[in-house]
Amino acid sequence: MDSKKRQDDFPSAGADLRQGIQFISATRSLVQAAQQRAQKDVHGRMLDLYWELGRMLVSPSPTRPSGEPSVRRKSLVVTVARALTRMYGSGYSEAALERMIRFHECFPKRSGLKAVEGLHWSHLVAIVSLKTSEEREYYRRECLRQAWTPWRLRQEIRAYRYARNTGNRPKAAPEPPEAGEAGRSEQPSGDLECLGFFGRAGNQSPDARSAVIRSMEDYLLDLGAGFCFVERWKHFQVGPEDHFLDLLLYQRRLRCLFAFGLQFGGSAVPDELMDFYLKGLNQKERLAGENPPLGIQLKADAAGENVRLIQLGLPNGQIVWAQTALPPRAQLHHFFVQAVLAAGAE
């Protein structure tokens, strides 16, 4: 009897399983569609705002007549940037406002924004840096037609795709990227341009990389070794290129900024990039009386003993690991690897 009952239960269980799978599939489609609509709306509003800010910074007003010298515009940009960065973060820096002005100059009419619907601000940053309207139009059209990521767009610009297709290929032009790399990203995971748009209220990214950075931040601050928090996702801009340092702290005992670069989950950052970060910090962030900044690049797939302390030229001799007040290299690396595993970002 019991055996007969168990056999009768099987068809019902199978039907429930099929129904559950169909429900999950339908739910997944709904969630993804809603996420795509929300993302499109956010990026559309972002472009509207940046275009409007660019227009306001260059348009005449009763207190600011047309035809003013460029030095007065520069002064206005500096003043506005200082106020906005205090209120909303580095997404409204002087360099960012200059990009917004350029965006308005390239698309002077609001109706022109319809032509860039579907593109992100990261796309537009690269497009508006181009010199001719023909180039800008070509890459805008190709981005929309082929659904290029911002990374792929920059690769195609570096490969002189427009010049090759118009028969004006420069000498020693690099070859275009492999198709298999089209989806790769130079930037940390998470939509960092949205973080800049939302300002300080959106200063965290909910992805695995943010979780690892947070774990490392808490670990270092809890050491009682004189570390103070400065910034995460520190933005560095070189022309149309954006780079982001994972974590920036200040070391009170050494009286210097301390930069941390984290490599895991397939991300590969050249060692030279940390040198670039340190030079930028030394030139623009170092205050009078402070020592040159230091840096550490942690790699999940490298042995802990190989963690390297990166430093610029110091006036009072070389800093050794023990002076940093950090735990032994192997111990620091072990915690980093555990944080990566805990975040599911291996």
Distance CA 195, CA 197 (A): 5
Which residues are registered as beta bridge partners of 135?
none
Contact 52, 68 (CB under 8 A): no
Q: For residues 123 and 47, is the Cβ–Cβ distance under 8 A?
A: no
Residues in CB range of 43: below 8 A, 6 or more apart: 119, 120, 121, 194
Q: Nearest-CA neighbor of 286 among 326, 313, 320, 246?
A: 313
Q: Length of the chain, please? A: 346
Q: Which residues contact 29 (CB under 8 A, 6 or more apart)?
A: none
Q: Is 302 exposed, middle or buried (0-12, 13-18, 19+ CB in 10 A)?
A: middle
Cβ atoms of 95 and 237 within 8 Å: the answer is yes
Residue-level pLDDT, tens digit, the chain, 346 residues? 555 555 555 556 666 667 777 777 778 778 777 766 776 777 788 888 999 999 988 876 545 555 555 667 788 888 888 888 777 777 788 888 888 999 999 999 888 888 888 888 888 888 988 888 898 999 999 988 888 888 788 888 888 888 887 765 554 444 444 433 333 334 443 355 565 665 544 344 446 778 888 889 999 998 888 899 998 888 887 666 677 888 999 999 889 999 998 888 766 666 678 888 899 899 889 999 998 999 998 888 877 777 888 887 665 556 788 888 888 888 898 889 888 888 765 5
* Domain residue spans of the chain: 38-167, 205-342
What's the pTM value of the predicted model, to 2 decimals? 0.55
pLDDT at 249: 94
Residues paired with residue 298 on neighbouring β-strands, in sequence order = 262
Check if the beta carbon of residue 340 is closer than 8 Å to that of residue 214: no
pLDDT at 229: 92
| Token pair recorded at residue 174 | 């690099």
205-342 is classed CATH 3.40.50: no
Q: Helices 70-88 and 94-106 meet at what angle, rounded to 10?
A: 120
